[in-house]
Structure 1
Amino acid sequence: MPNIIATAEAENTGEMYTTTLQTNRHTLIADEPLDLGGQDLGPGPGDFLCMALASCMVITLRMYITRKGWEIGRINAKVNLVKSPDTATGANTFYCSVSFSEKLTAEQHGKLCKIAKACPLHRLLNRPSNIITLLE
């Protein structure tokens, strides 16, 4: 059996695009905005992808900061996804911006930049992936 690192289920019951998501003990709602025909009852799939990357970066940074014993309060990560036709390289591009409530030293700045880029989802999204879809 492969080492499953995350899992999610999605169910749509016919109420347009509103979809119930289940992962472990958590239930969330995904939808599309009104201008795309949804009811805007939850984030869209692309938003969830950006939220996953942003949260992974912040959690990874917090783990490192805690281990170092640094006094850094708020960490904020903003992630924007630009689809390939809209980028110069022709690749889907995540633009990530991380800020802190405290002023960082030059050493902290350099190390935290490396740590943010080393979060598990950052590494995962920077590598090619395979998606295997089976219809049951």
Structure 2
Amino acid sequence: MHIPISVISERNRVFRQRVEVSGLESVYADVPKAVGGDGSAPDPHDYFDIALGTCKAITVQMYAKRKEWPLEGIVVTVQRDDSQERKGLYRLDVHLTLLGIDDPEQRARLEEISHRCPIQRLMTEATVEITTRLV
């Protein structure tokens, strides 16, 4: 089991939430002003998209490091199209910018490796079971 994540409502804010993970700095979530929030932090959909982008970046970096390839950095841009989310379709368009890698074969391999990040697999291949209980 992993350390639990706690989400705590901020009393002075309508929908702003403080997210705590033991031993780490707190992060925050909110909703846009258009739906009644302050728009002061990423919303839950943003965190979903962030999870994919950061996982792809880390996966690519780890692979390049192991291969001793000259990757100097990576920029992952995730663009969401949630226009059909209510119909069960949530599209994420991901662009990778590889810094320091000019070899076409290495670039292609790193793109391929990015598809193997654990979060993409979780989002596309796993069955996620959620149990919610009142305490």
TM-score by length of 2: 0.85
Q: Which moved more, 1:34-43 or 1:89-98?
A: 89-98
- Structure-2 residue corresponding to 1:117: 115
Instruction: Find the counterpart in structure 1 of residue 47 from structure 2.
Output: 48
Q: 3-state SS of the aligned residue for 1:75?
A: strand
Gaps of 5+ in 2: none
1:35-62 deviation line (CA, Å, top 9, x unaligned): 2211122111111111111111101111
Q: Go from structure 1 to structure 2 and tell me whether the alpha carbon gap of 1:5 and 1:124 turns closer, same or farther (over 3 Å shift).
A: farther
Report what 1:74 is aligned to: 73
Pick which of 5-14 and 33-42 moved more: 5-14
The one-letter amino acid of 1:115's match is: I
Q: Offset at 1:110?
A: 2.1
Offset, 1:12: 0.8
Give, in whole Å, the separation in 2 of the partners of 1:75 and 1:6. Answer: 29
Task: Find the aligned partners of 2:71 and 2:19 in 1 and give their Cα distance.
Answer: 33
Tell me by how many angstroms 1:73 deviates: 1.3
* Distance in 1, Cα, partners of 2:52 & 2:4: 16
List 4+ stretches of structure 1 deviating above 2 A: 4-7, 80-84, 101-104
- The residue identity in structure 2 corresponding to 1:33 is P
SS in 1 for 2:59: helix
Number of equivalenced pairs = 132
Q: Percent identity?
A: 25
Aligned to 2:133: 134
Within 5 Å, give how 1:1-20 maps onto structure 2: 4-5=1-2, 7-14=4-11, 15-20=13-18
- SS of the residue corresponding to residue 96 of structure 1 reads strand
* Superposition deviation, residue 7 in structure 1: 4.0
The CA distance in 1 between the partners of 2:70 and 2:130, in whole Å, is 41
- Root-mean-square deviation over aligned CA pairs: 2.2
